Structure 1
Amino acid sequence: MSALLLAAMAGMATLTGAASPALAAAPQAALTVEPQDYLIGAWELYRSRFVSPEGRVVDDDNGSISHSEGQGYGMLLAVAAGDRANFDKLWSWTQQELFIREDGLAAWRWDPAASPHITDRNNASDGDMLVAWALLRAAERWNVPEFRKRARTISDALAAHSVSDVRGRKMLMPAAEGFAKGEQPDGPVVNASYWIFPAIAELATISPALAKAKLGESGTWLLRKARFGPAKLPSDWVSLGASDPAPARSFPASFGYNAVRVPLYLAWSQDADPALLKSYADSWSAQAPGALGTVDLPTGATLEPMTAPGYGAIADLVACASGERPARAETRNFVPTTYYPSTLHLLSLLAFAERYPRCL
């Protein structure tokens, strides 16, 4: 019997258990057996490649550093796979090494080659959101009230320190410092891929402060407005300095490795807007199935192909959400490449399992 099948069998009972009332409506409760098999086996491969024995997620695309985003992703995937032992290691490392700020948010960057290891104490709002989301799901799966309490604390801190009012809308800032009006030449500057729509919806159920910010509404508004150039896609970094969003001047005007997560989070959302997903489906329909690339927004030209299967998995997810096309074999059969596309691949499998199991 293969190691992957053994792993799938070991986690099956946990993943098919009933959800608690707090998350009864969450998509996690809708997992079916076959997608679970994909997810659990893929997690075992991912964990063995990218998670250290002490619980550090290693970003081999970026000098083997670790960051709050990667820890949050790892924790989220461990919960989905029912892997409590490795979730605890991931969370313990994250608490000890990253939660060193006084405001309840995590320092975003940890470098094994530096002393001290924290090389930037600023937070990354998507990393904080991912950690809180993973803790909330862990609290529900394993009945650990302390996880839920900490998820709310982080969510409340996000609302207090990383949400700003911009012309009457509450916008999620990329960090507590560095992106506001006066801190960027055309600030405020935001990153559309930091709006993790399914996380926002679930965390709003435990954090009145985050719920009051209505980030789901502001993120949808942003994506309707930030459709630039012939491709009608968002830039990685968006300026809100004028009445209409525009590509931020201090960053390339491109749909790149940040923004590629936007359609993943949209398709994963319970309230995905088909019109917003259509831009991505249309942009990729003329390419080979599963093919993506970074895009120069002023011209619409492809700058760099995204050839790893993890990027193609997002294209498959959008195709399924838009037109029920089944996922290709390259998406269903996870093979690790490097940290970032491998992570996106597993997140796409999780989104398939929770929202579109029929396409697997």
Structure 2
Amino acid sequence: MFLAGTAALTACAVMPARAAPDRPALSVEAGDYLLGGWELYSSRFVTPEGRVVDDDNGSISHSEGQGYGMLLAVAAGDRDRFQRIWTWTEQELFVRDDDLAAWRWDPNATPRVTDRNDATDGDILIAWALLRAAERWGEAEWRHRARSIADAVAERATQAAGKLTILMPGVTGFSAGEQPDGPVVNLSYWVFPAIEQLETISPSLAEAKLRESGLELARLARFGRDALPTDWISLAARKPAPAKSFAPVFGYNAVRVPLYLAWEGEAGRALLEPYLDAWAGENGAGPHVVDVENDLRADRLDAPGYEAISDLVACALTQRPASDRTRNFVPTTYYPSTLHLLSLMAFAERYPRCL
């Protein structure tokens, strides 16, 4: 199974344990980009009740979107909207019998929670946002809740894979026996900067060492000519492979991987070269959906939010300044707009020089 051999563990074994991460203070200019972008974003995608609307998917809401909304509200210093988003999230999505959130809520369905399974990236994002809010505004209850969620992820949504522990996409549906080539994982669910910070308050999450397994997976799961990960990855064999039950594509999930790697810092930055090479290659094409089995490029990811990730990668590796389209946020639809603001957060915290 994945990472069973000692050679594959070499890169992880030398990584020291980390103290609480030190996030740089935002420059005034970087803060202005975020504040202006958040006002536009929240007026477009956040209802007065605090529901983050995914207009790419029939105006549903999900734990991922609520977590992103909470995180952006903290970064913008918008306590009122943060409180509304969290209150809605707690009331509508925390309906399971553990400390994890149901992932999907549909305004046109009865009951509105149409899938009670969790999505671990949503859980991690919500916990991270709560922890950051607790630090910013001094609310001990938010810190306590962040730890409860992080502990539940570690207890309920991780599995051993060889000598490391992996993050499952949800509590159910992805293990060996539930997938023909399970366990199946999604590398974009490893929100590296979130995991790093949550480890400081959750000993059980720290013990799982998810950061190490995610970085190792990012090193090994490189497929096709462009050496990119697929959205869904099988860890049934010694080497990762595209999962059989999903399209073998680098797509709308995996495009977040370089964002989180760049945001993570030095260890993540060392794994960004394939993205820079792929996106600066033929015709300077930028991010595309790529069929890694046939090396075919399909949809071009041409919204400004995807360009912002490409700019972030280029900045992290070459210090190239961000484009005007990246610096000046203009909403498009929920998903690329969210990625755009997250990229601006990563710029502001890790690479303000490129703004």
- Secondary structure of the residue aligned to 1:181 is coil
Please tell me whether the aligned partners of residues 249 and 290 of structure 2 are also in contact (alpha carbons under 8 angstroms): yes
Provide the rounded CA distance (Å) in 2 between the counterparts of 1:297 and 1:27. Answer: 37
2:213 alignment partner, one of 218, 222, 226: 218
Provide the rounded CA distance (Å) in 1 between the counterparts of 2:38 and 2:284. Answer: 25
Does structure 1 residue 151 correspond to structure 2 residue 146? yes
Provide the rounded CA distance (Å) in 2 between the counterparts of 1:258 and 1:112. Answer: 24
> Which residue identity does 1:157 align to in structure 2?
A
- Secondary structure of the residue aligned to 2:114 is strand
Given the superposition, is the C-alpha separation of residues 25 and 160 from structure 1 closer, same or farther in structure 2, using an over 3 Å criterion?
closer
User: What is the deviation of 1:103?
Assistant: 1.2
Provide the rounded CA distance (Å) in 1 between the counterparts of 2:22 and 2:300. Answer: 32
Does structure 1 residue 234 correspond to structure 2 residue 245? no
What's the counterpart of residue 207 of structure 1? 202
Does structure 1 residue 122 correspond to structure 2 residue 112? no
Please tell me whether the aligned partners of residues 125 and 194 of structure 2 are also in contact (alpha carbons under 8 angstroms): yes
CA RMSD of aligned residues (A): 1.4
Q: Which has the higher contact order (CA 8 A, sep 6+)?
A: 2
What's the counterpart of residue 84 of structure 2? 89
User: What is the deviation of 1:54?
Assistant: 0.1
What's the counterpart of residue 193 of structure 1? 188
Please tell me whether the aligned partners of residues 290 and 313 of structure 1 are also in contact (alpha carbons under 8 angstroms): no
Does structure 1 residue 35 correspond to structure 2 residue 30? yes
Does structure 1 residue 54 correspond to structure 2 residue 23? no
Provide the rounded CA distance (Å) in 2 between the counterparts of 1:78 and 1:290. Answer: 33
Does structure 1 residue 308 correspond to structure 2 residue 303? yes
2:262 alignment partner, one of 256, 259, 267: 267
What's the counterpart of residue 318 of structure 1? 313
What's the counterpart of residue 350 of structure 1? 345
> Which residue identity does 2:295 align to in structure 1?
G
| TM-score, normalised via structure 1 length | 0.92
- Secondary structure of the residue aligned to 1:171 is strand
> Which residue identity does 1:69 align to in structure 2?
E
- Secondary structure of the residue aligned to 1:48 is helix
What's the counterpart of residue 177 of structure 1? 172
Does structure 1 residue 113 correspond to structure 2 residue 138? no
Provide the rounded CA distance (Å) in 1 between the counterparts of 2:85 and 2:186. Answer: 26
The count of aligned residue pairs is: 338
Given the superposition, is the C-alpha separation of residues 354 and 258 from structure 1 closer, same or farther in structure 2, using an over 3 Å criterion?
same
> Which residue identity does 1:94 align to in structure 2?
T
Given the superposition, is the C-alpha separation of residues 280 and 351 from structure 1 closer, same or farther in structure 2, using an over 3 Å criterion?
same
- Secondary structure of the residue aligned to 2:99 is coil
User: What is the deviation of 1:158?
Assistant: 0.2
Provide the rounded CA distance (Å) in 2 between the counterparts of 1:243 and 1:72. Answer: 33
User: What is the deviation of 1:172?
Assistant: 0.1
User: What is the deviation of 1:301?
Assistant: 2.0
Provide the rounded CA distance (Å) in 1 between the counterparts of 2:81 and 2:129. Answer: 13
Gaps of 5+ in 2: 1-18
Given the superposition, is the C-alpha separation of residues 213 and 246 from structure 1 closer, same or farther in structure 2, using an over 3 Å criterion?
same
Deviations 1:160-188 (A, max 9, x none): 00011112210000000000010000000
What's the counterpart of residue 77 of structure 1? 72
1:136 alignment partner, one of 121, 131, 135: 131
> Which residue identity does 2:124 align to in structure 1?
M
Gaps of 5+ in 1: 1-23
Provide the rounded CA distance (Å) in 1 between the counterparts of 2:327 and 2:267. Answer: 22
What's the counterpart of residue 10 of structure 2? none
Please tell me whether the aligned partners of residues 111 and 118 of structure 1 are also in contact (alpha carbons under 8 angstroms): yes
Given the superposition, is the C-alpha separation of residues 341 and 127 from structure 1 closer, same or farther in structure 2, using an over 3 Å criterion?
same
- Secondary structure of the residue aligned to 1:276 is coil
Please tell me whether the aligned partners of residues 20 and 197 of structure 2 are also in contact (alpha carbons under 8 angstroms): no
Provide the rounded CA distance (Å) in 1 between the counterparts of 2:88 and 2:261. Answer: 30
Superposed, which structure 2 residues align to 1:251-266 within 5 Å? 251-266=246-261
Given the superposition, is the C-alpha separation of residues 198 and 354 from structure 1 closer, same or farther in structure 2, using an over 3 Å criterion?
same
Q: Runs ≥4 in structure 1, deviation > 4 angstroms?
A: 287-290
What's the counterpart of residue 93 of structure 2? 98
What's the counterpart of residue 9 of structure 2? none
User: What is the deviation of 1:276?
Assistant: 1.2
Please tell me whether the aligned partners of residues 24 and 350 of structure 2 are also in contact (alpha carbons under 8 angstroms): no
> Which residue identity does 1:30 align to in structure 2?
A
Deviations 1:316-356 (A, max 9, x none): 00000010000000000100000000000000000000000
What's the counterpart of residue 15 of structure 1? none
